[in-house]
Amino acid sequence: MRISDEEFDAAVAEALDGVPERFKAVLDNIAITVADEPTPRERATMDDPHGELLGLYQGVPLTRRTTGYSGVMPDIITIFKGPHERVCGSRVRLVEQIRRTVLHEIGHYFGFDDEYLHAHGY
């Protein structure tokens, strides 16, 4: 399933708009970006080297930030277009998967690990 870059960006923006306000209010020092494909270094973060990397959180989760957390570069969430297109067979499924990926990566920002997020459908 292929969509334009503009449609993909809009789906990511829509997913972010759907984040409850109480969570958006505490998103601080974080950038959310999109990329076509993960780099080899980004792919190396995966547990399953044969799977697709849909998104990646890089930073210091809220649960690990201390009073010394200041002056650091923003955390980054990257949502990858190519892997989403490869794993989704319809536009509806693609938009839903983008939403789940965005929420999954925001979950990492809040300190949740993959096991917890997968157990709760993200």
Instruction: Give the separation between CA 52 and CA 39, rounded to whole angstroms.
Output: 12
Q: According to the model, what pLDDT value does residue 25 have?
A: 93
Predicted pLDDT at 47: 84
pLDDT at 48 exceeding the cut of 90: no
- Would you list the domain boundaries of the chain? 5-119
Please give the pLDDT value at position 121. 85
- Number of H-type helices and E-type strands within the chain: 6, 3
pLDDT, mean over the chain: 93
User: What pLDDT was estimated at residue 36?
Assistant: 98
Distance separating alpha carbons of residues 79 and 9, to the nearest angstrom = 9
Q: What percent of the chain has pLDDT over 70?
A: 100
Tell me the torsion sign for CA atoms 31, 60, 57, 41. positive
Q: Give domain 5-119's CATH number out of 3.40.50.1820, 3.30.2010.20, 3.40.50.1100, 3.30.460.80.
A: 3.30.2010.20
The stretch 99-108 carries a mean pLDDT of 96
Positive or negative: CA dihedral 20, 23, 24, 25: positive
